[in-house]
Amino acid sequence: MKIIKLTTYRVPPRWMLLKIETDEGVVGWGEPVIEGRARTVETAVQEMEPYLIGQDPSRINDLWQTMYRAGFYRGGAILMSAIAGIDQALWDIKGKVLGKPVYELLGGLVRDRMKMYSWVGGDRPSDIIEQIRTLQKGGFNTFKMNGTEELGMLDTSAKVDEAVRRVAEIREAFGTTIEFGLDFHGRVAAPMAKTLLRELEQFRPLFVEEPVLAEQAEYYPRLAEMTSIPLAAGERMYSRFEFKNVFAAGGLSIVQPDLSHAGGITECLKIASMAEAYDITLAPHCPLGPVALASCLQVDFVSYNAVLQEQSMGIHYNKGGELLDYVVNKEDFKIVDGYCNPLPKPGLGVVVDEERVIEASKNAPDWRNPVWRHEDGSVAEW
């Protein structure tokens, strides 16, 4: 079997899907994308084609290493997202050829169902109580929200109080009948992280995500020393070579590699097992589309330390397109009592509605995240 064609489709709300075709008619789908940089990743995928066209798609490990090493420069969000989507599609092909879901090719199920969580509150967290109540009716009991709005490197007690009040209200309304993670989203600089963690500790959030920006990872062990709140990070780290330094330094309780940013299934499996060696749990980042989520679930179902899975149904980014819009086998993604079952179909387990994808790609938006400014006019972390 040989790879004969790669086709990318940028589709609403902000995703990109990749179709890899073979000379024997087996097709694999992937989701290579960096939110807000879809066109850049699209070009990176096209630049990977010389390593792939005419090659045997079953040799995923060699193709992965070639894409990673042969271009001399390596790593980073764009190249690792391009490799990620291609890797996902190659695993999809392999599973379809062998008639097995990917998790069967990776040693079989380590669990019967996977715990999912849902976003609430939007970019500037609001209406959280109502949104949790609605999602509880759908069976969710684990949630995530932004911990703050814009926050200066050094900001006021009033801003800290606002963040704490929001969390206090959640615990007041739901007690411990629900759990929730707080995503600091990189908005919190080191000077403010300690204060916020200390003030929030009494409400025992399930985790605090990106407590400081990924480029400040050396703060993770220091922050972990001063709080019992589990610290989470990983969506802005792109290979096991980045994660190794963070694991060795300590401080992380939860690692969140993104299956569409960190080299795909091949790389994230390695990251997951490295994390397990450090007693770090796995909660793959996935605010993206169905092929990304299916790839996450394939890794979750073979990783002992997988504890939580993000999915984007109802997320505030999904304007103009929803998680399952391009999926034929929607019922396989059903979330019952907050859990998802293993995807039974061969490959990644997602049957892509290609016609819908092609139609939607005709007017794909160039999604960009908003550019926020502080009161003094300086740019704010979004």
Q: Please give the positions annotated as active site.
A: 185, 285
Please report how many Cα atoms fall inside a 13 Å half-sphere around the Cα of residue 234, on the Cβ side: 32
Strands (DSSP E) found in 130-273: 142-146, 179-183, 207-209, 231-233, 254-255
The three-state secondary structure class of 130 is helix
Q: Which amino acid is at 137?
A: K
SS3 assignment, position 233: strand
Tokens of 150: 């814009």
CB of 158 to ligand J0M, least distance (A): 25
Q: Out of Mg ion, ligand J0M, none, which partner does residue 332 contact, by CB within 5 to 8 A per kind? A: none
Restricting to residues 179-238, name those near ligand J0M by CB under 6 A: 183, 185, 235
Distance CA 300, CA 292 (A): 12
Residue nearest to Mg ion (CB): 183
Cβ closest to Mg ion, residue 183 vs residue 332: 183
Residue 218 assigned ligand-binding role:
no
Closest separation in Å from C-beta 117 to ligand J0M: 10
Q: Which is nearer to ligand J0M, 22 or 281 (CB)?
A: 281
Is residue 209 annotated as involved in ligand binding? yes
In the bound state with ligand J0M, the residue whose beta carbon lies nearer, of 21 and 310, is 310
35 interacts with, out of Mg ion, ligand J0M, none, CB within 5 to 8 A per kind? ligand J0M
| 226/205 Cα distance (integer angstroms) | 15
Can residue 287 be called a binding residue for ligand J0M (CB under 6 A)? yes
Indicate whether 157 belongs to the interface with ligand J0M (CB under 6 A): no
Burial class of residue 363, CB neighbours in 10 A (0-12, 13-18, 19+): exposed
Least Å distance between CB 356 and Mg ion? 28
For the chain, report the end-to-end CA distance as a whole number of angstroms: 45
Q: Is 235 annotated as a binding residue?
A: yes
Tokens 């490295």 locate to 274
In the three-class reduction of DSSP (H, G, I as helix; E, B as strand; rest coil), residue 25 is classed as: coil
Tell me if 31 contacts ligand J0M by CB under 6 A: no
- The Cα–Cα gap between 178 and 305 comes to 21
Q: Which is nearer to ligand J0M, 120 or 351 (CB)?
A: 120
- The footprint of ligand J0M (CB under 6 A) covers 35-36, 183, 185, 235, 285, 287, 310, 317, 369
Known binding positions for Mg(2+): 183, 209, 235
Known binding positions: 183, 209, 235
